[in-house]
Amino acid sequence: MATHHLYRWIIIDPASGRTHTTRYRMSEADAKAVDPQAKRLEGSLEVRHVPDDPEALSTSAWQRGTRRQP
């Protein structure tokens, strides 16, 4: 199971040059792609645990009763 740490970020808008806080949480890699000097907004951490098996995210496997048990 993968763990993702997501934050809101303070970034500089490349078009206007003004700083603003992102509306949505994103990973550090995504934030740095937008603004290499992005700073995370402390207190905005959200940890998501994502299963490695893509079938675990599918409701159709659950409905068919074919989901593997861990």
Is 21 a domain residue? yes
Contact 20, 28 (CB under 8 A): no
pTM of structure = 0.69
| 56 part of a folded domain | yes
Reduced to 3 states (helix: H, G, I; strand: E, B; else coil), residue 61 is helix
Evaluate whether residue 22 is within a structural domain. Answer: yes
* 24-43 residue pLDDT tens: 999 999 999 989 999 999 99
Is residue 37 a part of any domain in this protein?
yes
Rounded CA gap, 20 and 7, in Å?
A: 14
The confidence band for 52, taking pLDDT boundaries of 50, 70 and 90, is confident
Per the structure, the complete domain to which residue 23 belongs is given by: 2-64
Residue 70 lies in a domain: no
Within a domain: 25: yes
Asked if 40 contacts 7 with a C-beta cutoff of 8 angstroms, the reply is yes
Does residue 45 lie within any of the structural domains?
A: yes
Domain assignment of residue 69, yes or no: no
Domain count of the fold of the chain:
1
